[in-house]
């Protein structure tokens, strides 16, 4: 079961990395197109600014899931790699509780937030804003999946080491 959860987390991370890279690449191309259109044609299509902004939102949120998975996220303190087992366990649980306390309420209220934006459309692209705002709960749910996989792998690896002794 641990292997399945870890593989699910791994494959989700691969998808998020590819999607985040694609969104950030698309944002770069859209901004480049905006600059060229502004200086060459003196007219910029209105949809390019919105599309670049939404690519930034999606790319940033999916990138944050990759950062969490790879432990690249910012921290107040970083436990020493050669520290005691108690220090590592405490740091892992403090991180887990912090993530749940911060992301839990946002994820809890996301349903109403998405419903509120479902009937609003963007001016330039004419799509429902819910397609943009769904990135927030989706990124948070992915981070929670990564957190569960990390906690289970830490907990079960400690149990396996105790059984071997």
What pLDDT sits at residue 140? 95
pLDDT at 61 over 90: yes
Quick one: 101 exposed, middle or buried, by C-beta within 10 A (0-12, 13-18, 19+)?
Answer: exposed
Over range 30-46, report the average pLDDT.
91
pLDDT at 8 over 60: yes
pLDDT at 163 over 50: no
Instruction: Give the count of domains, the chain.
Output: 1
What pLDDT sits at residue 51? 95
Full-model pTM? 0.85
Are the C-beta atoms of 127 and 121 separated by less than 8 Å? Answer: yes
Tens digits of residue pLDDT in 85-97: 777 778 788 889 9
Tens digits of residue pLDDT in 74-125: 776 666 666 667 777 787 888 899 999 999 999 999 989 899 988 899 888 8
Q: Which domain holds residue 30?
A: 2-164
């Amino acid at each position: 079961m641990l292997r399945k959860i870890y593989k699910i987390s791994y494959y989700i991370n691969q998808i998020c990395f590819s999607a985040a890279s694609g969104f950030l690449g698309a944002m770069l191309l859209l901004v480049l197109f905006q600059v060229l259109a502004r200086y060459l044609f003196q007219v910029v299509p209105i949809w390019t600014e919105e599309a670049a902004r939404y690519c930034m939102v999606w790319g940033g949120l999916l990138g944050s899931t990759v950062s969490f998975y790879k432990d690249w996220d910012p921290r107040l303190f970083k436990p020493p790699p050669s520290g005691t087992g108690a220090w590592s366990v405490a740091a892992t649980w403090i991180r887990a509780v912090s993530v749940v306390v911060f992301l839990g309420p946002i994820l809890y209220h996301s349903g109403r937030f998405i419903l509120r934006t479902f009937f609003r459309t963007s001016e330039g692209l004419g799509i429902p804003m819910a397609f943009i705002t769904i990135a927030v709960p989706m990124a948070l749910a992915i981070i929670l999946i990564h957190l569960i996989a990390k906690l289970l792998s830490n907990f079960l690896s400690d149990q396996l080491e105790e059984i071997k002794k």
